[in-house]
């Protein structure tokens, strides 16, 4: 069977972007695009049976590296292709390559690379994480590159948005003024609060000026206290989109459960991998010239700090269901539909008119098996 023949697929279970279904077939056209049809509309053609769960691939809005390469180290279109290829092996078909706090020329080159890759399927924009963050909450970001906001950053973001490239920018509202947050938001960029010591009041003020998301909840943020709720409470009580790292190291599983239950509006918490070059690559790499080593599932720098994560979106979805008791549909939404909606790309969560190459299969235990193309 080949794509050019056109054919029908009957998945045992199908995730349609919002729920698991078993009453639909997928008609794959001669050019490889998918259309959902009812079982009764098979036209007498025997479909190919697909076991497990069929879905579109994952949407990851925070990817630092993969396949042995780091975007910051070599911000080129070739690096982006290598990172995307590494993550596609584990079911992620759409990523926001992430450039963290670094020298100005690194950010400039990263922006150029993303612009050159605008028509590369799977590279859906850029996540600029820093450099305008709180020094005390920099995490693994190099202190020497943390700096105050400057017009150059706005010009880079504006240039990307004029080319209709999605942009997420993580910043600290105590470092970037409300006027500048508003200006960034007006370009259509997603202003996400993170790596910050912001109080509840300051975080809410930033939201009133256009910020609309929070980056890796609980990490690089002060702890929530009974009389100092801080930015964590602002995030949990808001109706904003909030990312979280689900490897079990960045945030304890009991806190993950709490965060999932705490949101006042459903489908606003989403998974990011925060993945590094070790995904599909060797067990160590260099960041800012220093070694980062994978030790018992953790990526550790020379300061003993976590430096990104070693987990895939598929691995996080499985953890959320098996370790946290999250419903399969909800876990898949957190890895596909919610991030797709945040960047205003609901098409990334839909099977309708998607190419068959963007479909993945999970077994009944939610292990990522392979791309659908490897099965048919």
Each residue's pLDDT tens digit, 64-94? 999 999 999 999 999 999 999 999 999 999 9
Residue appearing with tokens 């390469």:
69
pTM of the model: 0.95
Which residues lie below 8 Å from residue 65, measured CB to CB, with a gap of 6+?
A: 71, 73, 83, 275, 276, 277, 279, 281, 285, 308
Domain match, 77 and 12 both = no
- pLDDT-wise least confident of 6-15, 115-124, 176-185, 283-292: 6-15
Kindly report, residue by residue over 334-348, the tens digit of the pLDDT. 999 999 999 999 999
Domain match, 45 and 73 both = no
Q: Which of 373, 320, 376, 333 is nearest to 89 (CA)?
A: 373
| Per-residue buried b or exposed e for 141-161, using 16+ beta carbons within 10 Å of the residue's own CB | bbeebbbebeeebbebbbebb
Which residues lie below 8 Å from residue 364, measured CB to CB, with a gap of 6+?
A: 51, 52, 53
- pLDDT-wise least confident of 44-58, 171-185, 226-240, 249-263: 44-58
Which residues lie below 8 Å from residue 295, measured CB to CB, with a gap of 6+?
A: none
Kindly report, residue by residue over 272-316, the tens digit of the pLDDT. 999 999 999 999 999 999 999 999 999 998 888 889 999 999 999
β pairing state of 58-63 and 65-66:
unpaired
- Give the count of domains, the chain: 2
CATH of the domain at 363: 2.30.40
Q: What does the pLDDT read at residue 374?
A: 66
Is residue 269 scored above 90 in pLDDT?
yes
Domain match, 305 and 229 both = yes
Domain match, 38 and 79 both = no
SS3 of 23-89: CEEEEECCCCEEEEEEHHHCCCCCCEEEEEEEEECEEEEEECEECCEECCCCCCHHHHHHHHHHHHC
Q: Which of 266, 375, 244, 278 is nearest to 329 (CA)?
A: 266
Domain match, 122 and 250 both = yes
Is residue 5 scored above 60 in pLDDT?
no
- pLDDT-wise least confident of 1-5, 186-190, 224-228, 295-299: 1-5
Is residue 58 scored above 80 in pLDDT?
yes
- Can 239 be counted among the known catalytic residues? no
Mean of the per-residue pLDDT values for the chain?
94
Domain match, 232 and 361 both = no
Domain match, 250 and 275 both = yes
Q: What does the pLDDT read at residue 27?
A: 92
Query: What DSSP designation does 223 have?
Result: P
Q: What does the pLDDT read at residue 2?
A: 45
Domain match, 27 and 165 both = no
CATH of the domain at 69: 3.20.20.140
Query: What DSSP designation does 6 have?
Result: -
Q: Which residue pairs, CB below 8 angstroms and at least 24 apart, start in 364-368?
A: 364/51, 364/52, 364/53, 365/318, 365/322, 366/53, 366/314, 366/317, 366/318, 366/321, 366/322, 366/328, 366/331, 367/314, 367/318, 368/90, 368/91, 368/312, 368/314
C-alpha distances in angstroms, 250 versus 85, 173, 255?
A: 25, 23, 10
Domain match, 37 and 159 both = no
Q: What does the pLDDT read at residue 291?
A: 95
Q: What does the pLDDT read at residue 7?
A: 85
Domain match, 132 and 12 both = no
Q: 174 lies in which domain range?
A: 58-344
Give the range with max mean pLDDT: 22-36, 201-215, 293-307: 201-215
Domain match, 276 and 255 both = yes
CA atoms within 13 A on the CB side of 313: 34
Axis crossing angle, helix 104-116 with helix 151-162, rounded to the nearest 10? 0
Domain match, 311 and 367 both = no
- pLDDT-wise least confident of 32-46, 53-67, 224-238, 296-310: 32-46
Catalytic residue chosen out of the listed positions 16, 60, 247, 274: 274
Percent of the chain with pLDDT over 70: 96
Q: How far apart are CA 128 and CA 168, in angstroms?
A: 6
């Amino acid at each position: 069977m080949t794509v050019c023949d056109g054919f029908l697929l009957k998945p045992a279970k199908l995730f349609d972007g919002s729920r698991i279904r078993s009453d639909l077939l997928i008609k794959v056209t001669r050019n490889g695009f998918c259309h959902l049809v009812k079982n009764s509309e098979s036209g007498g053609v025997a479909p190919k049976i697909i076991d497990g769960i069929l879905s579109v691939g994952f949407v990851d809005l925070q990817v630092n590296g993969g396949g042995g390469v780091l975007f910051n180290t070599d911000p080129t279109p070739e690096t982006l292709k290598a990172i995307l290829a590494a993550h596609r092996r584990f079911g992620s078909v759409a990523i926001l390559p992430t450039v963290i706090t670094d020298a100005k020329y690194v950010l400039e080159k990263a922006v150029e690379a993303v612009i050159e890759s605008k028509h590369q399927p799977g590279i859906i924009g850029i996540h600029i994480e820093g450099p305008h963050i709180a020094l005390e909450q920099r995490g693994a970001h190099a202190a020497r590159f943390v700096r105050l906001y400057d017009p150059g950053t706005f010009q880079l973001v504006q240039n990307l948005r004029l080319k209709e490239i999605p942009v997420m920018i993580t910043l600290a509202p105590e470092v970037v003024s409300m006027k500048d947050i508003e200006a960034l938001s007006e370009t259509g960029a997603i202003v996400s609060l993170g790596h910050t010591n912001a109080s509840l009041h300051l975080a809410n003020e930033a939201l009133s000026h256009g910020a609309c998301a929070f980056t890796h909840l609980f990490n690089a943020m002060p702890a929530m206290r009974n009389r100092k709720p801080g930015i964590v409470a602002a995030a949990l009580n808001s109706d904003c989109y909030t990312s979280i790292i689900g490897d079990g190291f960045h945030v304890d599983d009991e806190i993950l459960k709490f965060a999932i239950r705490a949101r006042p509006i459903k489908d606003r918490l989403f998974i990011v991998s925060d993945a590094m070059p070790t995904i599909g690559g060797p067990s160590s790499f260099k960041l800012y010239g220093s070694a980062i080593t994978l030790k018992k599932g953790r990526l550790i720098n020379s300061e003993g700090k976590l430096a990104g994560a070693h987990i895939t979106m598929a691995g996080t979805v499985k953890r959320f269901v098996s370790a946290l008791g999250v419903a399969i549909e909800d876990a898949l939404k957190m890895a596909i539909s919610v991030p797709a909606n945040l960047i205003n790309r609901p098409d990334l969560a839909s099977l309708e008119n998607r190419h068959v190459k963007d479909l993945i299969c999970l077994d009944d235990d939610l292990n990522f098996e392979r791309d659908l193309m490897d099965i048919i």
